[in-house]
Amino acid sequence: MPSASSQSPQAIRGAFLDFVNDPFYVSDAESVRYIPDGLLIVEKGAIADFGSYADLQAKYSQVEIVTYPGKIIMPGFIDTHIHYPQSEMIAAYGEQLLEWLNKYTFPTERKFRDKAYAQTIASLFLDELLKNGTTTALVFATVHPQSVDAFFEEASRRNLRMISGKVLMDRNAPDYLTDTPETAYEESKQLIQKWHNNGRLLYAITPRFAITSTHEQLRLAGKLLQEFPDVYLHTHLSENLKEVEWVAELFPECKNYLDVYDRAGLVGEKSVFAHGIHLSEDEFKRLSAAKAALSFCPTSNLFLGSGLFKLHKAKSLNQPIKVGLGTDVGGGTSFSMLHTLNEAYKVAQLQTQSLSAFKALFLATLGGARALSLEDKLGNFDPGKEADFVVLDLQATSIMATRTGGLSTRLAQGSTETELREELAEKVFGMMMLGDDRAIHAVYIAGELVHR
Amino acid sequence: MPSASSQSPQAIRGAFLDFVNDPFYVSDAESVRYIPDGLLIVEKGAIADFGSYADLQAKYSQVEIVTYPGKIIMPGFIDTHIHYPQSEMIAAYGEQLLEWLNKYTFPTERKFRDKAYAQTIASLFLDELLKNGTTTALVFATVHPQSVDAFFEEASRRNLRMISGKVLMDRNAPDYLTDTPETAYEESKQLIQKWHNNGRLLYAITPRFAITSTHEQLRLAGKLLQEFPDVYLHTHLSENLKEVEWVAELFPECKNYLDVYDRAGLVGEKSVFAHGIHLSEDEFKRLSAAKAALSFCPTSNLFLGSGLFKLHKAKSLNQPIKVGLGTDVGGGTSFSMLHTLNEAYKVAQLQTQSLSAFKALFLATLGGARALSLEDKLGNFDPGKEADFVVLDLQATSIMATRTGGLSTRLAQGSTETELREELAEKVFGMMMLGDDRAIHAVYIAGELVHR
């Protein structure tokens, strides 16, 4: 449970939007929860009560209320795939995945041997996340254990629910960035014991990808996952065609890319695979059966020219896969989940699919929580959950105001539920296409205002 | 020649970046002009002198200097395809081109029958352009002549070099938005006589696209273009596959989409065709031979799922076509040329091409000027040209500062020219990937500061 400095109840009043079910599988009426004039009660960092102001006001008449007129309050955004050490090399020019790793990523990650440096970048990274309304993330560190310590120390100072882990790489990477199967196992084990469930922090065993781990290293990662079944497995899968070809050469005995991980015991309910662009039918099937998650990283996929993620395939009713969204900074060129939704929409459009604002925002909140098996703690305003949320300004820039102008007040008034929802859909779609960090009016972590 | 209120010379000192040739065809060394400490002398709205501060300081010792330390000054951005009436419907949800026109665009454009309304939106539109560093644009109005009057009046008040025209549509559009071949001809003619070369304003004959004009209307548009060979032709071409199919059905006698325009005499040196995504080899060839221009609108092409423009094909050495960039608001979801470059890079990456920052910025400046046959007036800092320019802040946001931090001072010092250029390329690439309207520190029109 998060500890908040203020122990007395707090109340936030405003328009609240969250999801109680998955709009890919049920109607908007059954999945979207919109309360035009709602009240959120926070106690000891958690949501104590939630409902319409009219229903709750009498019960909490003694509690001081903070009101956000004209804004929309949503659960904090969840980024299911990002690399904190790549913050400073965001938007590096001209390459696709494999060349980009060698030219930019590896030299940058080398610096994280120095813990003080790692701490500086971790701090900057977390500030950027919060500024963009992202309150939880699944985060790559580097191969250096001290890079994980630095990250978790900074996350802990901010009382954030964060998941990270030491990168495992014992081949096809520069000497200065490689470990061995044994050191990878030992160092990860120590880090798990030190950080997993330490406050709000959680650990992910993090082989970079099949190319940079030997079979032996993957096997030991699987052993570790068996010893600590509660920790995550976080890696990359099928991002780039050349990568997929190389994996096939390196693991000729495996029937496909996912099978490399599967044979090592790395495909389970707490496994999160970034990208999954070029998956075969068998791989989709296996991911669904294993209840593993995919992290869809549209900005990165476009920036690195990796390809178009088949979202509607992954979210099909008959073979559902848990999907979250990832910025994938530094392959992604923005920390903003709103930008990420904008790009997700485009990836869908290029495949003649439309991604509605509700589906998109679901992926960024409750969908992300489900992908990270954190649905019991995060993702919506259900009482008992942790009080991480964002206050969104739909008129943050002049063009946003032009596009959504005049709706705020109408939204707060009468209308039928369907009308309200349709107007809201249009309005939040404008926000996701036009918004950036300026639309993040305020951010609360465990009920405390941390960014405004 | 633009008239500026201040008749005495002005001097701007700072780092200047522009292009003296096309980096798609010659090396960066031959095309990029970077002056780390330069001086720009403006007189009567035009560039009177330009060079390094060291060379020019003595000559202009009496002129008061405005200095922009740590910034980069570039020619104003040129947007070669945008719809001002669609400003308010930017980022409309869920459709591809033809449905999107019917559902959102036509009902919105209907409002421009009201001149006062048109004036309000034109004003807002021009403010957005300037805020984003765009100083010249080729702009669709609506079918209503008064929408053109409203736009030109507002552009004139701001002393902007703008090109626009009345939309021609005599079929496949709602009654409330159609004209006839004859009224289209007559109204366009009157507007040409009223506005073309009125101050800095220029006229474009503007059939929406082949689908919404009969053969007779296109023929009369061609007649008008013959009578006024100095005006522009601005239309859409081969944006969406369904559109291309429909054109083939409507004009079975034409060998391809471009041929529809060609037979009407609409394909020439002052013709600008937006999109051109699905062009045949014959069409590429004809565009090159006719010295016509294409407007590449990457954000719109992704947002509407239209497809990927073949930039490297259009810019091939053996069959070159003039190419400018367009935001295509409201099909495009941003007024920002920097965002547009960001998306252009992604469109190239998806085709395993890399678009360098210099090539991209060329398209947004001198390339745009060439596409609009305005190279004698705009596009770089050559003396005699009009003094429309922007001051860019490469550290406008915290993440931009992180990415480009520390370079500013080094850029201003020694180093070899090649080192300087490489560092600059990396820096401005960061700006184009991470920047937005916040990176536009100041905008000058005909030497006058109009936005900061």
What pLDDT, in 10s, does the model give residues B396-422?
A: 999 999 998 754 445 555 678 888 888
Which residues on B lie below 8 Å from A349 (Cβ)? 96, 302-305
| Interface membership of A195 toward B (CB under 8 Å) | no
Q: In chain B, which residue's Cα lies nearest the Cα of A358?
A: B93
Instruction: Tell whether A426 lies on the interface with B, counting CB pairs under 8 A.
Output: yes
**Rounded average pLDDT over B328-354:** 97
Cβ contact (<8 Å) for B397 and A437? yes
Q: Does A425 touch chain B (CB under 8 A)?
A: yes
Contacts of B302 in chain A (CB under 8 A): 302, 346, 349-350
What is the rounded CA–CA span in Å between residue B375 and residue A378?
56
**Statement: residue A86 has pLDDT above 50:** yes
Written as one string, the DSSP assignment of B182-210 is HHHHHHHHHHHHHHTTSTT-EEEEEE--G
Residue A278 contacts residue A305 (beta carbons within 8 Å)? no
Tokens of A451: 């960014």
With contacts defined as CB-CB under 8 Å, which chain A residues touch B352? Answer: 96, 305
Query: Min CA distance, B383 vs chain A (Å)?
Result: 33
Lowest mean pLDDT among A1-5, A169-173, A267-271: A1-5
pLDDT at residue A1 in the model: 41
**What token pair was written down for A185?**
């196992």
Residues A65-79 pLDDT 10s: 999 999 999 999 999
Angle, helices B417-434 vs B357-364, to 10°: value is 70
Q: Do B399 and A90 touch (CB under 8 A)?
A: yes
Query: A127-142 pLDDT, tens per residue?
Result: 999 999 999 999 999 9
Q: Chain A within 8 Å of B88 (Cβ-Cβ)?
A: yes
* R_g of chain B, CA atoms, integer Å: 21
- Taking 60 as the threshold, does the pLDDT of residue B3 lie above it? no
Write down the pTM of the prediction. 0.96
Helices (H), A251-365: 257-263, 281-290, 298-303, 311-314, 337-349, 357-364
pLDDT, position A451: 83
State the CB neighbour count (10 A cutoff) for residue A75: 30
- Mean pLDDT value of segment B111-116: 97
- What average pLDDT does this structure show over A101-117? 96
Among A399, A403, A407, pick the best mutation site for testing chain B contact (most B Cβ within 10 A): A399
Q: What is the mean pLDDT of chain A?
A: 95
pLDDT score, position B94: 87
Helix, strand, coil share of chain A (percent; to 5) = 45, 25, 35
Phi-psi region of A393 (alpha: psi -120 to 50; beta: other; left: phi over 0): beta
Contacts B303 to A, Cβ<8 Å: 345-346, 349, 433
Q: Which of B339, B346, B355, B394 to mutate to test the interface with A (most CBs of A within 10 A)?
A: B346
Under an 8 A CB cutoff, do B333 and A426 touch?
no
Residue A126's contacts (CB-CB under 8 Å, 6 or more residues apart) are A154, A155, A158, A160
Higher per-residue pLDDT: A423 or B338: B338
Sign of the CA dihedral running A166, A172, A175, A181: positive
Q: Which two tokens stand for residue B305?
A: 């799922």
Q: Give the pLDDT confidence score for residue B284 in this predicted structure.
A: 98
- pLDDT, residue A413, reads 58
Q: What is the DSSP pairing of strand A389-392 with strand A65-75?
A: antiparallel
Residue A452's pLDDT band, with cuts at 50, 70 and 90, is confident
Angstrom distance (rounded) from CA A134 to CA A444: 10
ipTM (interface predicted TM): 0.95
The whole-number pLDDT of residue B140 equals 98
CB contact under 8 A, B403 and A90: yes
Mean per-residue pLDDT, A5-21 = 89
The burial of A117, by beta-carbon neighbours within 10 Å (0-12 exposed, 13-18 middle, 19 or more buried), is given as: middle
Q: How confident is the model at residue B374 (pLDDT cuts 50, 70, 90)?
A: very high
Contacts of B369 (CB under 8 A, 6+ apart): B75, B78, B136, B375, B377, B378, B379, B380
Angle at B153 between CA B147 and CA B156, to 5 degrees: 140
* pLDDT at position B255: 97
- pLDDT tier at A7 (50, 70, 90 boundaries)? low
Contact assessment for residue A60 and residue B372, using Cβ atoms and an 8 Å cutoff: no
Q: Using CB atoms, pick whichever of A95, A349, A403 lies closest to residue B91.
A: A403
The per-residue pLDDT for A2 is: 44
pLDDT value at residue B8:
85
Cβ pair A335:B128 closer than 8 A: no
Q: Which residues of A touch B395 (CB under 8 A)?
A: none
Question: What is the predicted pLDDT for the residue at A409?
Answer: 46
Find the helix or strand (DSSP H, E) in which A13 lies: strand A10-19
Q: A307 vs chain B: nearest CA distance in angstroms?
A: 7
Domains in chain B, start-ordered, CATH in brackets?
10-75+380-451 (2.30.40.10), 77-371 (3.20.20.140)
Contact of A363 with A344, CB cutoff 8 Å:
yes
- Residue A247 and residue A212 in contact, taking contact as beta carbons nearer than 8 Å: no
**Chain A partners of B95 at a C-beta cutoff of 8 Å?**
354
Residues A18-44, mean pLDDT to the nearest whole number: 97
Residues of A in contact with B304 (CB under 8 A): 349
pLDDT over threshold 50, residue A308 = yes
pLDDT above 50 for B425: yes
Q: How far is A80 from chain B (nearest CA, A)?
A: 20
Strand partners, A236: A274
> Which value, in Å, is the radius of gyration of the alpha carbons in chain A?
21
pLDDT (tens digit, 9 = 90+) per residue, A141-199? 999 999 999 999 999 999 999 999 999 999 999 999 999 999 999 999 999 999 999 99
Instruction: Give the pLDDT score at A94.
Output: 87
CA B445 to CA B452: how far, in whole Å? Answer: 12
pLDDT in tens, A381-405: 999 999 999 999 999 999 999 998 7
Instruction: Inform me whether the pLDDT recorded for A5 exceeds 70.
Output: no
B403 at interface of A, judged by CB pairs closer than 8 A = yes
- Euclidean distance between CA atoms A99 and A234, whole angstroms: 22
Residue of A91, A349, A397 with shortest CB distance to B305: A349
Chain A touched by B407 (CB under 8 Å) = no
**Residue A151 and residue A345: Cα distance in Å, rounded?**
31
Average pLDDT over residues B213-227: 98
Mean predicted confidence (pLDDT) in A221-238: 98
- Print burial letters for B110-133: b (CB count within 10 Å at least 16), e (below 16): bbbeebeebbebbbbbbbbbbbbb
Quote the minimal CA–CA distance from B92 to chain A in Å: 7
Percent of chain B topping pLDDT 70: 96
Distance (Å, rounded) from C-alpha B293 to C-alpha B399? Answer: 36
Q: What are the angstrom distances between the C-alpha of A2 and each of A24, A26, A230, A366?
A: 31, 32, 19, 19
pLDDT of residue B407: 45
**Ramachandran assignment for A379, one of left (phi > 0), alpha (psi -120 to 50 degrees), beta (any other):** left
Contact residues on chain A for B342, CB-CB shorter than 8 A: 333
Mean pLDDT of B84-93: 94
Chain pair A-B, CB pairs under 8 angstroms:
110
Average pLDDT over chain B reads 95
Is B229 in CB contact (< 8 Å) with chain A? no
Contact at CB, B434 and A94, closer than 8 angstroms: no
| Residue of chain A nearest B329, judged by CA positions | A399
pLDDT of A407: 45
C-beta atoms surrounding A299 within 10 Å: 28
Does residue B388 have a pLDDT over 50?
yes
Nearest CB among B95, B96, B403 relative to A88 is that of: B403
Condensed to tens digits (0 to 9), the pLDDT of residues B263-297 reads 999 999 999 999 999 999 999 999 999 999 999 99
Report the pLDDT value the prediction gives residue B413, as an integer from 0 to 100: 58
Interface of B with A in 329-368 (CB under 8 A): 333-335, 342, 345-346, 348-352, 354, 356-357
pLDDT band at A416 (very low <50, low <70, confident <90, very high): confident
How far CA B33 is from CA of A63, A164, A260, B51, B330, in Å, comes to: 63, 45, 51, 10, 34
Average pLDDT over residues B26-49: 97
Residue B4 is predicted with a pLDDT of: 44
The amino acid sitting at B322 is K
| Predicted local distance difference test score (pLDDT) of residue B2 | 44
